Chains A and B, each alone.
Chain A
Amino acid sequence: NAGVTQTPKFQVLKTGQSMTLQCAQDMNHEYMSWYRQDPGMGLRLIHYSVGAGITDQGEVPNGYNVSRSTTEDFPLRLLSAAPSQTSVYFCASRLEGGLSTGELFFGEGSRLTVL
């Protein structure tokens, strides 16, 4: 099992450009989520999904879009990048419902710089 795979690992954008951060998991997890990590701020939830076709907002959703067309994939889209979106982004997944222990499995992160 590869676990949670994120691409790209590094990306530099100019203000106003758009891009998609990819996330895929091979553990058949229903729940997937995106966090951003900033110094002194910990990890903040951007969007999450409890299954294909279902998405919801987290703490800091503005400027980001998500969709969940398959169980395996959960891409994060930045429609018009801003310098405030410079961060390290983590995708995480886990089981949902009665089988879940609550443990989140994280990818290795995508470091995004917006100039």
Chain B
Amino acid sequence: QQQVKQSPQSLIVQKGGISIINCAYENTAFDYFPWYQQFPGKGPALLIAIRPDVSEKKEGRFTISFNKSAKQFSLHIMDSQPGDSATYFCAASCSDSSYKLIFGSGTRLLVRP
């Protein structure tokens, strides 16, 4: 049972472009939605996270957009750089279930120079 569906599986963007990765969830009890970034040979690291009391959160070039009614959230990377090339995972959890994170299947992003 895949509770968090992520798309696309892979994405190629030119330097300076906008990268958009989408996720959809099923469990309406989820109240914490992080994005993790993973470089080859490394463990995932938290990039940015949002809670459902806001519709958007921005940190530098990274923005999460959240649509509670549609049960969807997305990551936007503005002015994409080759150094952003990595695998991105969305995730979701309930704060009252010990924050057990359920991850999406991942998106491999390649930013071409």
Among A31, A58, A100, A106, the residue within 8 A (CB) of B43 is A106
A to B contact number (C-beta, < 8 Å)? 60
One of A13-21, A40-48, A64-72, A79-87 at the interface: A40-48
The chain B residue with its CB closest to the CB of A4 is B43
Q: Specify which of B9, B46, B95 is in contact with A103 (CB 8 Å cutoff).
A: B46
Q: Which residues of A contact B11 (CB under 8 A)?
A: none
Q: For the complex, is B105 an interface residue (Cβ under 8 Å from A)?
A: yes
CB neighbors of B among A57-115 (8 A) = 58-59, 90, 92, 94, 96, 100-104, 106-109
Complex CA–CA separation, A48 to B4 (angstroms): 20
In whole Å, how far is A55's beta carbon from the nearest beta carbon of chain B? 12
- Is residue A50 contacting chain B, with contact meaning CB distance below 8 A? yes
* Contact (A43, B103) CB under 8 Å given A4-B43, A92-B43, A108-B43: yes
Q: Is the C-beta of B66 less than 8 angstroms from some C-beta in chain A? A: no
Contact of B98 among A35, A41, A50, A59 (CB under 8 A): A50
**How many chain-A residues does the 8 Å CB contact rule pick out?**
27
Measured between alpha carbons, how far is A4 from B45 in the docked complex, in Å?
12
Q: Contacting B104 at CB < 8 Å: which of A42, A90, A102, A103?
A: A42
Per-residue CB contact flags for chain A residues 1-41 toward chain B (1 = under 8 Å, else 0) read 00010000000000000000000000000010101000011
What 0/1 readout, one digit per residue, does chain B (70-113) give for beta carbons within 8 Å of chain A? 00000000000000000001000101001111111110000000
Q: Which residues in B have their C-beta under 8 angstroms from that of A100?
A: 99
A19, chain B: closest CB distance, angstroms? 20
Docked-complex contact A42 and B89, CB < 8 angstroms:
yes
List residues of chain B with CB under 8 Å of any chain A CB: 4, 6, 9, 32, 34, 36, 41-46, 49, 89, 93, 95, 98-106
